[in-house]
Amino acid sequence: MKLLDRYVAHIALERGLAENTRQAYSADVTRFLLWLHEEGVRPECVNLEHLHRFAWSLHDVGISARSTARILSGLRSFYRFLHLDGYIENDPTELLETPKIGKHLPEVLSVSEIDRIEDAIDLSQPEGHRDRAIVEVLYSCGLRVSELCGLRMSDLSLDEGYIRVQGKGSKQRLVPIGSRACKELELWFIDRNALPIPPEEQDYVFVSIRRKRHLSRITVFHWIKIYAERAGISKPISPHTFRHSFATHLLEGGANLRAIQSMLGHESITTTEIYTHIDRSFLREQILSFHPRNKKSVEG
């Protein structure tokens, strides 16, 4: 296991690699090394056939394609380390293919459904304006629920139409915010300013009416489900549904995929491409409207 120890030390020093990822890679490589031991193969002698057999063994014990893809990703990292550090001359994972993973298309709300959810919020209740602002910011800015809960007053530049968002890996991005979301926030601030919020919580945008602390993700999930039920929406709804709806509606409206990627804070464009599941009728309409072969000639 000396190679494993050196690999674990190596990935511990890699910048930007999350603790959960390091632990997963270590566990996956350990599993592979145990399999190699049973096969009587040294890690330095592994070839593509060994890797295929290992992948098949995972399938045989019921490991899903998604989990297998993650395990093979850990093996690629391991063998990249062995190659770069001179333990092996060639990386056997270079030609290793990742199992195809069926894409699960996220639920998307229509604009009218979002309006129904907002209309289901009772503004006479203490949390009414706060929750209207939450729904509108989730939808208008495409935030993750963790980003919404961590949003601070000092992150808002409402006069300029932008908010600063702390995304995954503490990466910051600027996201445009529309006039309707700004209006809902301003209505919430009237109620918020009347709350005796402790100094350490003063900078958070969304706070609990009762506890006077910034909201947790669980609280936001709880209220979103209640309002969806009141609105008569039966499809499974979560705060993330508004983020999916934000991206899909932008794409349907003609927004550039790279711009959507930037607003969502996706590191890879491939993550954003899941939102290209546009209605076929919309695609047909776009092709008929904009493809040069379909435009009626104005000559002759």
Active site residues: 144, 168, 240, 243, 266, 275
String of DSSP letters for 14-76: STT--HHHHHHHHHHHHHHHHHHHHHT--GGG--HHHHHHHHHHHHHTT--HHHHHHHHHHHH
DSSP label at residue 211: T
Judge whether 78 and 29 are in contact, CB under 8 Å.
yes
How is residue 17 written in tokens?
A: 């690699």
Which amino acid type is present at position 33? L
Lookup result for tokens 């060994």: 50
Cα–Cα nearest to 21, from 69, 68, 73: 73
Calculate helix-pair angle for 19-39, 48-60, nearest 10 degrees: 100
Cα–Cα distance measured from residue 181 to residue 161, given in angstroms and rounded to the nearest whole number: 10
Helix (H, G, I), strand (E, B) or coil at 105: coil
Could you give phi then psi for residue 175, rounded to 5 degrees?
Answer: -125, 130
Cα–Cα nearest to 108, from 223, 257, 238: 238
DSSP label at residue 169: G
Cα–Cα nearest to 64, from 93, 37, 90, 100: 100
Q: What b/e readout covers 265-277, taking b as 16+ CB neighbours within 10 angstroms?
A: bbeeeeebeebee
Cα–Cα distance measured from residue 27 to residue 22, given in angstroms and rounded to the nearest whole number: 9
Cα–Cα nearest to 214, from 144, 130, 128: 130
